[in-house]
């Protein structure tokens, strides 16, 4: 879930940036400090949207920089269990597919792709359904549900588990085909 969150922090402005416009410098320094940072309670910090409060600057002995206590709004993404997400397959391995959605990747284990038995075609880096002949490969768009979330301090240490074994989830092409066949059945009756 994307949200705007108010955060308090301290930002350091180095002396070589004193001539620049203060709010612009602070915004740039905050972007460097926050972009991609993970806070367990907030989620993944993506972008500074607004500076709310700015204290008087203070100089610390032995450091020529000015430090400002600041309150600002940041756009954050916090993956939630049972959240439905759309993304695309970024990698296929013998144990499942990695799906990129928003600022993170999640894993759909081979057992969570479809009800059909899926086998991995290593040569073509794709999964093939035993009975349905459904294909799932890199760059395919899909819809999945988040089933597990484990956010760590770094994105690559975090783990998000996904499933497509529920109604209205799966490769978008499969969902369109199902919708068409249902429509054809309705028209035939």
**What does the domain layout of the chain look like in residue ranges?**
2-77, 84-184
Task: Report the distance separating Cα 100 and Cα 103, nearest Å.
Answer: 8
Please give the C-alpha separations between residue 27 and each of 48, 75, 118, in angstroms, as whole numbers: 7, 13, 48
Judge if 2-77 and 84-184 fold alike in CATH terms. no
Largest distance between two CA atoms of the chain: 83
Architecture in CATH of 84-184: Beta Barrel (2.40)
CATH classification code of 2-77:
3.30.1490.120
Is the Cβ–Cβ distance between 144 and 171 less than 8 Å? no
Residue 102: the pLDDT is: 85
- Count of alpha carbons within 13 Å of 132, Cβ hemisphere only? 16
Q: Could you give the 3-state DSSP secondary structure of residue 36? A: coil
Task: Report the distance separating Cα 49 and Cα 6, nearest Å.
Answer: 10
pLDDT tens for each residue of the chain, 189 residues long? 999 999 999 999 999 999 999 989 999 999 999 888 898 889 999 999 999 999 999 999 899 899 999 999 999 999 999 999 999 999 999 999 999 998 899 999 999 999 999 999 999 999 999 999 999 999 999 999 999 999 888 777 889 999 999 999 999 999 999 899 888 888 876
């Amino acid at each position: 879930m994307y949200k705007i969150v108010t955060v308090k922090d301290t930002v350091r402005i180095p002396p070589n940036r004193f001539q620049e416009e203060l709010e612009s410098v602070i915004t740039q320094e905050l972007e460097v400090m926050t972009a991609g940072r993970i806070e367990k309670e907030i989620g993944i910090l993506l972008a500074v949207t607004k500076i709310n409060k700015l204290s008087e600057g203070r100089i610390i002995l032995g450091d020529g920089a000015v430090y400002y206590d600041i309150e600002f709004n940041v756009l954050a993404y916090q993956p939630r269990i049972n959240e439905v997400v759309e993304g695309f397959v970024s990698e296929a391995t013998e144990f499942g597919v990695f799906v990129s959605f928003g600022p993170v990747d999640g894993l759909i284990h081979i057992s969570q792709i479809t009800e059909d038995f899926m086998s991995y075609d290593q040569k073509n880096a794709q999964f093939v359904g035993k009975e349905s002949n459904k294909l799932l490969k890199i760059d395919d768009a899909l819809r999945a549900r988040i089933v597990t979330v484990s956010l760590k301090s770094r994105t690559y240490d975090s783990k998000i588990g996904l499933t497509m074994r529920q109604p209205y989830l799966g490769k978008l092409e499969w969902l369109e085909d199902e919708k068409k066949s249902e429509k054809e059945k309705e028209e035939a009756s």
